[in-house]
Amino acid sequence: MNYKEEDKKYVEAGGRVSYYDFTEKEIARVVKTNVKEVEAMDWRMLIQMLYPTNMIGSGLFQPILIFRIGRNGKRIDPPIEAYNSLDDMRNGECLLFRIIDHIEKNSKFKIDDSWYELRKKILEAGESNEK
């Protein structure tokens, strides 16, 4: 669950692009925190964990964009994925759910109960929006 230096170099090769280093220690620190207290930089790190070889960016209309990186180190448009938020639901999934699932499958970290409460709240809101 630690980033690979070669992934970081690949993503940052074109310059002016940030790679959000993720380590087991940092991930464990974040997921044991109440979800409401997680800072923006920590969310970027967790998204980078899901997309270790991609550029994480933001756009005019959608704040979370995921880009592939070309051999020249430049991002490849259009983005491979775009999200309005961490709870932007698509086919019963969102980034928050994917982060939780990834951590559960790849570590033994204790995730704060607030993360699961938020997941339940998002699912309930999604169900009521579908009716």
Q: Could you report the per-residue pLDDT of 43-91, keeping only the tens digit for each?
A: 999 999 999 999 999 988 899 999 999 988 889 999 999 999 999 998 8
pLDDT at 131: 42
Q: What pLDDT does residue 15 have?
A: 85
Packing angle between helix 95-106 and helix 113-130, nearest 10 degrees?
140
Say what the pTM is: 0.92
pLDDT tier at 36, thresholds 50, 70, 90: very high
Predicted local distance difference test score (pLDDT) of residue 129: 57
The domain spans of the chain are 5-130
Residue 10 structure tokens: 């690949």
| Of 14 and 27, the one with more pLDDT | 27
Q: What is the b/e burial string over 18-35, where b = at least 16 CB atoms within 10 angstroms of the residue's CB? A: ebbebeeebbbebbebeb
Give me the chain's average pLDDT, please: 93
